[in-house]
Structure 1
Amino acid sequence: MKLNIKNTIGITAFLVSQAMVAQFYVGVQSGIGNIQSDVNGTSSGYELGGAIKVGYIYSLSNHIGIGTGIEFSQYKQDVFLSNSSATLSNFEVDPSTSAFEYRITASNYKERQSLHAIQIPLFVQYKTNINKGIDFNFRAGAKYFLPVNYKIKATATNVNGTAYYPDVNLTIDDLPEYGFGSQSNYSASGEYETKGIVMSMFELGFTFDMGAKNALYAAMFLENGYGSILDQDKDESYIGYNPTSVADRKANGLYSTDKNAKIRPVAFGVTLAWNFK
């Protein structure tokens, strides 16, 4: 027990001593955020995204340091069908266990996406003094990007769902009690299943001394995700099949139509932070 206490005290003292020589920061990021995809037949807009961040940089020398911390980020965008009258299909099974091709056509379909995530960066910083009280900074590294939630709000002026049974060459387009037919003013919410990925990160900027213990940091940033944050095991209709009604169809989302889709965040913009020396 004494040995464990001594080790604990020693480790705590070491961590405190490292923190005392580290430079802490709090800051915000703002810029263009986009959740890029390779799903055919879809297009998306670009909107402002942002993040709040806290962390520290441990100096290895006068020019080199290693930084880490935690960040909370947000992405928002609208996604559309490139062809607003396109019909998308996938295979479903009806209550009698018969397989059929489920065909969905949605007029003026729009999908409002909102992604929130935790980011944990690990980067190397190079800095050099270029004038009295002004340092040039370059940061490069990686982030672990962990989505907290990825929600969607889907709307359409009209949704039409039909069934085609290939075994008997039968098409059903108007049987609402079995989920086939039209629905006006469609609106539903849903959520994508997600997983964590790695992002690269780069920042280029300047630090301006604002006193003996504080400094303002301003930089441009670029972040790029690798892999896919989408985590699903089968292709789904972007508007789900309801076997008992043409109403209350689930919003699975356009990205659910391809289980192997590469869905990744990309962002660039400005970073502002307050450093505590």
Structure 2
Amino acid sequence: MKNIISSFLIVLISATSIMAQSSQKAVKQLLLSYQEKINLSQGEEFSEENNQAFLQLFYSSNAQVATLGIPNLGEGQTTIKKFVNGINERFDEEADIVVNLQILKQNGPNDSSPNRKLYEITALQNFSGFKKDGSDFVNHSKIQFEVEYLVNQKIARIVSIKKVESKSGLWVDAHVGAGMTSISSDYADMQSSGKFGISYGLALDYMFNEHFGITTGINFSSYSSTFELASFEQEAFRTTDQDNDEYDLHAQGSGISSDVNLKYMEIPIGIAIRYNGFISRLGIKYGIASSSSNANYTDGSITTTGYYPKYNVTLHDIPEYGFGTYSLSGKEAQVFPESAMIGFVQLGYQFFLSEKVSLSFMGFYQTSFSSVYTADSKSIATGNEEYNSVLHLNDATKISAYGLEVGIGFKLF
């Protein structure tokens, strides 16, 4: 029994191999016939015989084929019958039409049914001829043949021909991102927790070829965190009162909670990589701080006193001079973010809705290389119930974000 099964498998494998060779040979012969019979002016005339010989290479007279820029056929695709009529109407029948194919890739066979196998062949095509007005016509395109092989009849026919748009050129991508953002704290007693944030903008990718290019654009991002500080004592802050007398403001706080939101306009520059649908961008962004950044206190209290060196006296519990204990809840804070260099990396997948339109889903991470905030003193209270943000207590403040970005891209040229 084992010998019988082995013999059967050998026969089956041999038959499959012979069938595959037969179909591939038929497909190869079909493409050779395509190059020959597309010369509809054979015999120096456009005859119905020539037209039919070429049409018989196709699945039907309604098979869709690339227009190849032939005048008055429009962009995209048309039926093979209209394509043939277009050649008859616009080309000189006394001059040959010459087509050369350079096969780049073949996929298949794929079994669509027991009697039908499908192939996809990608090729570079040079199409040349003379129009009736005496001018040359030359078209150089990457095209994709969809070919069917009928097993029972042992014949191959062209189902469609599509033009493959080059992935090189300039692409614009409109995107929106969302994820976790954070503003760091290096003040020993202050805790920070990141918050949800959004970003949006435009990316411009100039692809030198199908896989590599450079990227730039514009992006608008917000970075947010909540800060908690159990207690603090600020260093003396020299200022003047309403009588224009100088004094050193001292402050102690407790139970402080604050929300800080820093907004940036970012200009990226980096490299873009695309491979088999995967897309990546990495580089640096120059972040320009926005004046709409804001901070406010949500909880806590602060007690202030004032030392007047001119009189060698410390004043406290004088509300009209801003000395006393005050609630920070609901108080706005001054915040002064600085421009920064931000490193970024993105990785995701790009779906092509058409040759010139794509939809992408990308994960991203970005972080500033240096501090985005510099304070001249570690002070929160500045007098007259005005306050700096808690970022004034940091030596170095950095921003970062990670999340998901969704974009729709368009090829400009």
Instruction: Report the TM range for the smaller structure's normalisation.
Output: 0.7 to 0.9
Q: Which residue of 2 aligns with 1:76?
A: 224
Q: Which residue of 2 aligns with 1:10?
A: none
**If the length of structure 2 is used for normalisation, what is the TM-score?**
0.54
Residue among 110, 113, 118 paired with 2:257:
110
Identity over aligned residues, as a percent?
24
Aligned residue identity for 1:199: I
- How far apart, in 2, do the equivalents of 1:229 and 1:77 lie? 14
Secondary structure at 2:337 match in 1: coil
| Structure with more helix by fraction | 2
| Structure with more strand by fraction | 1
- How far apart, in 1, do the equivalents of 2:383 and 2:393 lie? 13
Q: Which residue of 1 aligns with 2:391?
A: 255
Secondary structure at 1:85 match in 2: strand
Q: Which residue of 1 aligns with 2:352?
A: 209
**Contact 1:67 1:123 (C-alpha < 8 Å) held by counterparts:** yes
Q: Which residue of 1 aligns with 2:139?
A: none
- Cα deviation per residue 1:93-127 (whole Å; 9 max; x = unaligned)? 45474543x33233332212122210111110121
Unaligned runs of at least 5 residues, structure 2: 1-167
Q: Does 1:38 align with 2:174?
A: no
- How far apart, in 1, do the equivalents of 2:205 and 2:340 lie? 23
- Cα deviation per residue 1:20-51 (whole Å; 9 max; x = unaligned)? 93111111111111112323322211111121
CA RMSD of superposed structures (Å): 2.4
**Contact 1:159 1:186 (C-alpha < 8 Å) held by counterparts:** no
**Contact 1:69 1:121 (C-alpha < 8 Å) held by counterparts:** yes
Residue among 89, 92, 106 paired with 2:238:
92
**Bigger relative contact order (CA 8 A; separation at least 6):** 1
Aligned residue identity for 1:56: L
**Contact 1:236 1:252 (C-alpha < 8 Å) held by counterparts:** no
**Contact 2:280 2:347 (C-alpha < 8 Å) held by counterparts:** yes
**If the length of structure 1 is used for normalisation, what is the TM-score?**
0.78
Give the structure with higher Rg (CA): 2
Q: 1:223 to 1:185 in 2, by over 3 A?
A: closer
Aligned residue identity for 1:55: A
| Deviating more after overlay: 135-144 vs 169-178 | 169-178
Q: Which residue of 1 aligns with 2:288?
A: 146
**Contact 1:154 1:251 (C-alpha < 8 Å) held by counterparts:** no
**Contact 1:107 1:156 (C-alpha < 8 Å) held by counterparts:** no
Q: 1:173 to 1:99 in 2, by over 3 A?
A: closer
Q: Does 1:187 align with 2:330?
A: yes
Secondary structure at 1:39 match in 2: coil
Q: Which residue of 1 aligns with 2:404?
A: 270
Secondary structure at 1:177 match in 2: helix
Residue among 177, 189, 204 paired with 2:320:
177
Q: 1:23 to 1:186 in 2, by over 3 A?
A: closer
Secondary structure at 1:195 match in 2: coil
Secondary structure at 1:255 match in 2: helix
Q: Does 1:241 align with 2:383?
A: yes
| Deviating more after overlay: 164-173 vs 208-217 | 164-173
Residue among 143, 155, 177 paired with 1:29:
177
